[in-house]
Structure 1
């Protein structure tokens, strides 16, 4: 199973659609601040949440179960992710999620804390504190193994982010 994780596309539908086509994922997670009408989002298997800049009627947070994993999806602004990742970690543990996907900071993060893998794909169009726009792809392997790879919108690998995890 291949899952594309994007966030903070801020109205750039062209880049979003391009990355969705390029990644050829089985499922897409958008962590909010898509800043378009919902009907302009890609037509695919999609979990989407509302960011602090969105106006569409989509959930503030959601979760998605696949294989032996539960993905918790939020934008992050309601969990103060600029200050600490603990609130997202605690909420993930509360709902028994093994993977937490969030955005808001425009900075890519991938780290395992306890039994929760925290993933912020960065911003698809406007990075902050990181030199390139980015997104993440999660590939699920045998024995709950997860491989996370970060890419630029042009499809170049960002080797300093990602890794192999077993939450």
Structure 2
């Protein structure tokens, strides 16, 4: 394709003259009309990507929380025996370990936060019993038997601070389950 050369086809090299058109007056806008972009104009909602609603599986949540209770209690119980006095504060970690799958998988159910509290206290109890079982096994069981000696040493070793740890596990299990279930 070639560009035309001015003057080659009989046209002059001067720019074309401006042409004038007349425009009819616009009709007045209807009453209450606000032009787009003016103050007071409603802004359309931005298109958002809709996420699929999470499927809540309470049975899977409870089974996972039971497994977390067992594993958390055993991990608590198999900690070094010399650190047994400082482990009570890990009750909140046990509560979080149980509450996370229970709340996330189970969803906002009224039955799950109390279950999370009971499972957190159960994990703490299982951990303490495992510690005492290890201690009795290391010392050698008495004539009454391993289980009886374990429960007797656990009962004799209970302190008021242990009750505080159970309270921390109960409250933490309930609150953390409730908060993880309510989170989007």
| TM > 0.5 fold call | no
Normalised to the residue count of structure 1, the TM-score between the two structures is 0.23
* Larger helix share, 1 or 2: 2
TM-score (normalizing by structure 2): 0.22
Answer 1 or 2: higher relative contact order, Cα 8 Å, separation at least 6. 2
